[in-house]
Amino acid sequence: MKITLTEALRIKNEISKIVNETQHKIRYAEFGTLTENGITVTGDNQSFVELETVLAKALTLSQLINDFISDFNKQSGVDKLVRSLQNEKMFLKLYTDNLDKFKQKSTTKFQNLTASREEIKVVYEPHVSLSVVKKRISDLKAIIRENQNKIESFNTTVIELPFEYSDVEELV
| Single pTM value for the model | 0.71
Helix axis angle for 5-27 and 48-76, nearest 10°, is: 150
For the chain, give the mean pLDDT: 92
Check residue 33 and give its pLDDT: 82
Q: Round to whole Å and give the CA distance between 125 and 109.
A: 17
At 31 the three-state DSSP class reads coil
User: Which tens digits make up the pLDDT trace of 154-165?
Assistant: 999 998 898 998
Does 61 have pLDDT greater than 80?
yes
Residue in 33, 25, 13, 16 with CA at minimum distance from that of residue 52 = 25
Cα 51–Cα 56–Cα 62 angle in degrees, nearest 5: 120
Dmax (CA) for the chain in angstroms is 103
Instruction: Please write the tens of the pLDDT for every residue from 106-124.
Output: 999 888 877 788 888 999 9
Q: How buried is 104 (Cβ within 10 angstroms: 0-12 exposed, 13-18 middle, 19+ buried)?
A: exposed
The DSSP code for 128 is: S
- The dihedrals phi and psi of 161, each to the nearest 5 degrees, come to -100, 150
What local confidence, expressed as pLDDT, does residue 41 receive? 79
